[in-house]
Structure 1
Amino acid sequence: MLSIFPTYINFKSIITSSIENFHTTGELFVAGKRNTIKLFKVDETLTLNIKSFRKPILINRIIYKYFRKSKARRSYEYATVLLENGIGTPKPIAFKENSNGIGLKDSYYVCEHIFCDLTYRELVETDYPDGENILRQFVHFTYKMHKNGIEFRDHSPGNTLISNNNDGTYAFYLVDLNRMNFHEVMSFEARMKNLSKITPKKEMIEIMSNEYAKISGENETDVFKTMWQFTEDFQYRFHRKKRLKKKLKFWKK
């Protein structure tokens, strides 16, 4: 099944061809352990960003066909919800699901490629120019998402693209969208926890807490303590998991 966003229906043939020939054509953009992303240039104004999701194991093939939406379909639908709420994300173009009698074989998500200047990861790992200004604007971006009841479960450094508008402002775009929850209202704890994966640096949390308190009207001390506690908890679990993986690799040798 191929579903195309109405705005892009005139590109059906090139979208179809790009997906069908995904493994032999296109420019490799991301070669991940689980998923692969390739770029397909349409013209000077449009480049397709196509994500091929890893083929699911047998039980998930059945689940994704009969009981739960595929990652490609969720990415497409969640992108639409984000844009409807004024939250930046690459424009959704299409998704494709290939199935057989057993279940889902593979799936693809197509969106407009964003040629960004950096990701949030650069703010964490480098002394990026104008970093504090970008960080404070990012907090406004996230707060708007929270006010709309949107919980981006993969709110991590590599999943926010940032473009410089060259006027002192920046545009933010969420990617890797297949894990989201939607709420009528997000609790204070849920909002603070949603920022726990974004940086391990205390000085960045201090800036984010200061800006979040300003725009939310919440107590800055409470914002910082809660955000930092969730960050420490996440970092502890993250590094514990890494240590366990190293031990497993050692014992397998």
Structure 2
Amino acid sequence: MQENFVIHPDYSQMATKLRHVLNNFSKKGEYVTKGERNVIKTVVVEGNSLNIKKFKTPNVFQSQVYQYLRKSKAKRSYEYALKLIGFGIKTPFPVAYFERFSGGLKESFYVSEQVNYDFDFRELIHNPQFKKRKEILNQFTQFTFKLHENGVNFLDHSPGNTLIMDNGNDNYEFYLIDLNRMRFEKMTFEKRMHNFRRLWLSKTMVKIMAAEYAKLYGKTYSETHQLMLKHSRAFQKKINSKKLRRRKR
């Protein structure tokens, strides 16, 4: 059995205790989510509140790929978090990642600081009367623009993957989570608008965000709105069609 444990230098003093927690993951901490694919727990180690994400064990073929050809989701999450922070983009601070191999990748964990956020982007979708909704959407658009300007194509830019903190005085902070699917590349206007598609935006939300993005990018409102709406509607139609096909089975 081969193991790979990498911990950020800022947390090196608790390496032994954290490794013990990871080796006894099933017995430690409290569940945040317990899905079919991934499990997330919260633990306290030396007074630090941490989130540990255990990724689903890959199949035989994928486990070989992750050992020899491609970085694991845990390693990518850790490295991408460091990159984002380097760009001045917020994400829960990356503490460590842990991989266990035996004829391929068997287990992988990503550890980050726990962020005490106020709400996530989903609230803005489900509640059109959400307090300061327009202002939050404008600031979220500025946040997304910053991602794009730094060449970050966040492939999972979806409602549950942005945590929002209300700092008062109409000031909001945005934290990206679920980081393992990203590309770092030049973001054309087409790619930028395509990147909004998973956010499940209403027509009103598209109008607000397109106006703000057009102002930031120097495009007209009309062309920004048209392309953002096109990609948003195409994605929603695709997902709804899949749901309909499942119901008919």
Q: TM-score band (shorter)?
A: over 0.9
Alignment-derived partner of residue 247 in structure 2: 246
Alignment partners' CA distance in 2, 1:131 and 1:199: 15
Alignment-derived partner of residue 196 in structure 2: 195
**What is the root-mean-square deviation in Å for CA atoms of aligned residues?**
1.1
Whether contact under 8 Å (1:199, 1:205) holds in the other structure is no
Alignment-derived partner of residue 107 in structure 2: 106
In structure 2, give the amino acid aligned to 1:179: R
In structure 1, give the amino acid aligned to 2:122: R
Trace 1:1-253 onto structure 2 (pairs within 5 A): 1-42=4-45, 46-100=48-102, 102-126=103-127, 127-183=129-185, 185-247=186-248, 250=249
Alignment partners' CA distance in 1, 2:225 and 2:46: 46
Alignment partners' CA distance in 2, 1:17 and 1:125: 41
Whether contact under 8 Å (2:200, 2:236) holds in the other structure is no
In structure 2, give the amino acid aligned to 1:11: M
Classify 1:20/1:122 alpha carbon distance in 2 versus 1 (closer, same or farther; 3 Å): same
Alignment partners' CA distance in 1, 2:72 and 2:246: 28
Whether contact under 8 Å (2:14, 2:46) holds in the other structure is no
Classify 1:43/1:129 alpha carbon distance in 2 versus 1 (closer, same or farther; 3 Å): farther
SS in structure 1 of the partner of residue 42 of structure 2: strand
Identity %: 42
Cα drift, residue 245 of structure 1: 2.5
| Higher alpha-carbon deviation: 144-153 or 236-245 | 236-245
Cα drift, residue 207 of structure 1: 0.3
In structure 1, give the amino acid aligned to 2:62: N
Whether contact under 8 Å (2:5, 2:96) holds in the other structure is yes
Q: TM-score, normalised by structure 2?
A: 0.96
Q: Structure 1 unaligned runs (5+)? A: none
In structure 2, give the amino acid aligned to 1:148: N
Alignment partners' CA distance in 2, 1:17 and 1:246: 45
In structure 1, give the amino acid aligned to 2:56: R
Alignment partners' CA distance in 2, 1:180 and 1:24: 32
Alignment partners' CA distance in 2, 1:169 and 1:10: 35
Q: TM-score, normalised by structure 1?
A: 0.94
In structure 1, give the amino acid aligned to 2:229: W
Alignment partners' CA distance in 1, 2:35 and 2:215: 38
In structure 2, give the amino acid aligned to 1:220: Y
Cα drift, residue 244 of structure 1: 2.4
Alignment partners' CA distance in 1, 2:69 and 2:165: 38
Whether contact under 8 Å (2:193, 2:227) holds in the other structure is yes
Alignment partners' CA distance in 1, 2:182 and 2:230: 22
Alignment partners' CA distance in 1, 2:222 and 2:8: 45
User: Stretches of 4+ moved more than 3 A in 1?
Assistant: none
Q: Alpha-carbon deviations, 1:150-195, whole Å to 9, x = none?
A: 0000000000000011221001000000000011x21100000000
SS in structure 2 of the partner of residue 236 of structure 1: helix
Q: Alpha-carbon deviations, 1:24-69, whole Å to 9, x = none?
A: 120111112210100002355x311000001111110100001100
SS in structure 1 of the partner of residue 164 of structure 2: strand
Whether contact under 8 Å (2:98, 2:110) holds in the other structure is yes
Q: How many residues align?
A: 245
